[in-house]
Amino acid sequence: MQAEAYALLLARQRGARVPEVVVAGIAGPGTALLAVRVPTGTPLADLEPEQLTDQLLQETWQQARLLHEAHVVHGHLNLRHVVLTDDATVAVIERAGGASRTGTRRAADVAELLVSTSQVVGIERAVRAALTTLDTQELVHALPVLQPAALSRELRPTDPRDHRRFTQLLDELRKAVAEATHSEEPPLRELYRVSATNLMMAVGTLIGVGALLSQVAPPPFGTP
């Protein structure tokens, strides 16, 4: 929680419109307290495509750039977590994912926002808006993570019938980004998401195997 408060402070110092830290401290033994003031407004995901103007898209990418310049990543940087406030400015809601200097996590933010904006305004406008704000290399670095496993659950389709359409969107988006940045599409390294259930099953299996092995007596010394 302290890391989260630190990340928000870094982002605000850089000029990003993110939740404001009101109180951060220790409330008791082993208990941390963090209170924030979250910007209010309409999520950009709820706007109609014609309402999501190029200016709003560019302002959204500007907020993403400010976060990353502060070495802060969001983790779920899609249009559900970006709002149009009452004073017609764009702000990022939800708490920051933390401070990070790793390019992989920043690339995941870029990929998330590219996919999210493409779903609303189309690939061409989404890529053009990103290019007006980000360095070309930032988009190039996002190419390998433009795949379902690297995206948040909010973006991935829940209906199996929509998986093919979503995969096609990602294929076309990778191609568009590569063409816009005059680069080649890198070979995708398949990523996998490990669910908590699968992780617990794997741990349980290892514990069970360890218990069985502990019951097997070693052969007497010198036995061929």
- Residue 23: its pLDDT value, please? 74
User: Over pLDDT 90: what percentage of the chain?
Assistant: 58
**Residue 178, amino acid:** A
For residues 192 and 76, the model is more confident at 76
Query: For the residues of 139-189, what is the DSSP string, one character each?
Result: HHHHGGG-SGGGS-TTTS-SSGGGHHHHHHHHHHHHHHHHHHTT-PPPPPP
**pLDDT score of 220 more than 80:** no
Q: How far apart are CA 34 and CA 43, in angstroms?
A: 23
Sort 210 into a burial class: Cβ within 10 Å, 0-12 / 13-18 / 19+: exposed
The answer to whether the beta carbons of residues 172 and 115 sit under 8 Å apart is no
For residues 207 and 65, the model is more confident at 65
**Mind listing the domains of the chain with CATH numbers?**
40-205 (1.10.510.10)
Tens digits of residue pLDDT in 18-57:
988 887 667 667 676 677 788 899 999 999 999 999 999 9
Tens digits of residue pLDDT in 79-89:
999 999 999 99
- Residue 37: its pLDDT value, please? 86
Question: What pTM did the predictor assign?
Answer: 0.79
Which tokens is 41 given? 């407004």
- Residue 110: its pLDDT value, please? 97
* Torsion sign across C-alpha atoms 163, 165, 166, 171: positive
Model confidence band, residue 200 (pLDDT cutoffs 50, 70, 90): very low
For residues 24 and 211, the model is more confident at 24
The answer to whether the beta carbons of residues 88 and 52 sit under 8 Å apart is no
